[in-house]
Every structure is written in structure tokens, then in C-alpha cells.
Amino acid sequence: MSILFECEYKGQRYAGTGIPVPGEPHVLYRVSEDQVRAAVIAGAGPEALLAAVTEGAETVEVTTGDPELRFLPPLLPTSTNNSLVNGFMGTHRSKFDHDPAPDQEFTPPNYYLKGFGSWLRMPDEPLVTPADPVWLIEEPEIALVHVNDDDGVPHYAGYTFGNDFNDIGLHLKNPWAWTPYAKLCETSLTPWLFLGEPPRTVTGRVTIERDGAPAWEGDFSCGADSLYHRVEDMTRYVLSYPHLRRPGLVNYLLLGADKATYHDGFRIEDGDRMVIDVASHGVVLANPVQYGQAATGDSARTASR
């Protein structure tokens, strides 16, 4: 499976292939901000995409851990913020009491908007929550990446993995109205764009670390075979909406998560570290939890005017 990533190094944008090995030098290829997105829209396949990024490009070798190296969410437009994080809820078979019939009519699952692509966080960056969350939950998920061409037609780029961190306790207090509030926790993605169709099988393990030691562990699955809904039906339906077909928009679409810490009665706390080991794909996504600051008196007065 071909893998592509983008990053910033010394103020310039670069792309790379594969997953860098910590402590070893890795070759980066100088790219313009829209170069990878344009290559995806050209639609000639993974090998052509890699060639469009690497052939004839200025290169530099960088070691992972260099303080001037920062990875980016796949295809992120940093200058325009023309990007959106959104996703589905209740998509896993484990949340249904029956399997779908082969010819069952598609019923769209619940959907939400999470925020702009610039709100995404990378591995090891803190994920900030509201100041007083009710009950937090990690959600390991596949994230599909699409970019729209100048006519607003979505082009599938590939997939990566994310943690749709949210406040399930707040959601469950009022599922029909408070879900958008519950989703207002930061989300992380891996920077690695897998240049292939959405995977049928994704398996791994979550570890919640507290004070440097494991406090909870559990397995998860999030591949297409674990979903109640067909991926092609979900994406076709949601990407039919005009607001998601704006020219140039990069769309990060989260496909939903299996049961996790909450369903086992475990509470994630401020300062915990969530480690999502996507063992089937050789990817680890780890982020510390950080409770946000309470609104100030000035903010409250401004809101009441």
C-alpha cells in the first residue's frame, strides 16, 4: 500500500512517501500548497500521484523529531482553511441487534459537523476539551479524504486514521439536541494518507495511560466489515449535498467508532494519554487530554449582550 504525507519544515511545505522511522533520516520533496490536491484531482491513480509529487522536486533529508518539522493533516489547505471535519454516528454493527439484509434499503446514519480542518491535531499534540466535560470517550475511526475540483466534484484521495474525541456523557443527556456540543472537543488524525480504497478490515488496541502507566486497555475494529452501513452508500449520500461540494473543499469524513472506554465504565480524565495502536496498518496515534479553560467573566458578559 502506497502512503503519502505532507509536512512543514523550516517554513516550507514538503511531501514524503511511506512512514518515517523515528530517529532515521527521511527524504522530503518540496511541494506547493495545492500540488498534492491537484494531483488527486487529476485522477491517474496512486503511482501517478506519487510521481507528480516526487519527480524533479527539490529534496531535503530530515530526521523525525527535528523541532522544525511539523506534520500536516492530509491535503490540508493552510492558507485558505477551505476544509471541513465531519462524520457519522452509530455506524458499527456492534450497536445494532441485527445484521443488515443484502438488499436492505439505505437509511443514512446520524451525521455531524466537527469543525474546520485547521482544528485538527497531529500525533502527540494535546486534545483540548471543554472545561467541565461530563464523560469523555476516545473514538478510533477511519477518516476518508476527498477534495473537490473547480466544478465541485469530489475526488477521493485515500484514507487515514483519527480519534473523534468527544463528550459522550453530554450527548447521552440529550441525544437529539446536545450532540453538536458533545463534539466540540479537538480531533486528531495521523498525517499518513493511504492511497487505496477504504479498508475492509482495521483492527487495533486502545490504551489509556495515566501517570505513565496503562489505566485501561481494549481492542477495537473500524474497517468496512465492522460497519452496519456500506461505506459507498454513506459517502455518496453525504457528498450529494451542495455545501459539501464547494470548489476546492477538502473533506475529512469520519466513518464512526466501535464501543470503547465509556461502554466499559472507564472515565478519561485531564492529563490522561490516549494511545490508539492501529496494529493492522502499523500506525499509532497518541494524544494527551487537556481540559480547556472556563469562560471568563468578560466572555460571559459579551455573550449576554
15-28 pLDDT per residue, tens:
999 999 999 999 99
Ramachandran class of 274: left when φ > 0, alpha when ψ lies in -120 to 50, beta otherwise: beta
pLDDT at 44: 80
pLDDT at 101: 86
pTM: 0.95
The CATH number of the domain covering residues in 73-298: 3.90.850.10
pLDDT at 295: 80
pLDDT at 146: 98
pLDDT at 299: 53
pLDDT at 97: 86
pLDDT at 297: 66
* Domain-wise residue ranges, the chain: 3-71, 73-298
pLDDT at 53: 94
pLDDT at 103: 86
What residues of the chain score a pLDDT lower than 50?
Answer: 303-305
pLDDT at 298: 60
pLDDT at 304: 45
